[in-house]
Chains A and B, each alone.
Chain A
């Protein structure tokens, strides 16, 4: 699986958009980009995933660059409840998820 690089932490003001970057320069053609988050002492929560096209759901938007070497998770209107560790994972279909260190997002009022 391709390795991902994320900033260790980010701060965001409540109500503003949170943009979380992820680099995956060694991604291969059949690998998806997945985003999960983990709120303290809970199991991870699925957010969104994509292959090459941008994706949007009720939680977030995922923007993947044309060369697929990086992506950005966008939480359009961050709330205090969005404070969590966000994990960007790249893996092919049917393969296991390997979690890195992730980004600690702190949403502040």
Chain B
């Protein structure tokens, strides 16, 4: 079956530090890959996505590149802010298109990110 593995944290960084959150996946087909973010007290929001190998998703200064050869989709940001403090979820869908496959998303456990001023 499908699975997603990511570092659980908490990950604590200082403001303006470089961020990497690792995510690797196992899938039987050709998944679409996603990063969702959950800010304190809020619902899950789509941060970025990539639907095929070598695609790069980007949003709000965050980037992730779909690496089929290493089955990875690591999240990066060059300079984090206190407002980036949240829980980040890596997810996959077996859809060949923009995502949200018929059998639902498979999520990692989530990484709690804490940014200190």
A binds B: no
Binding site for A on B (CB under 8 A): none
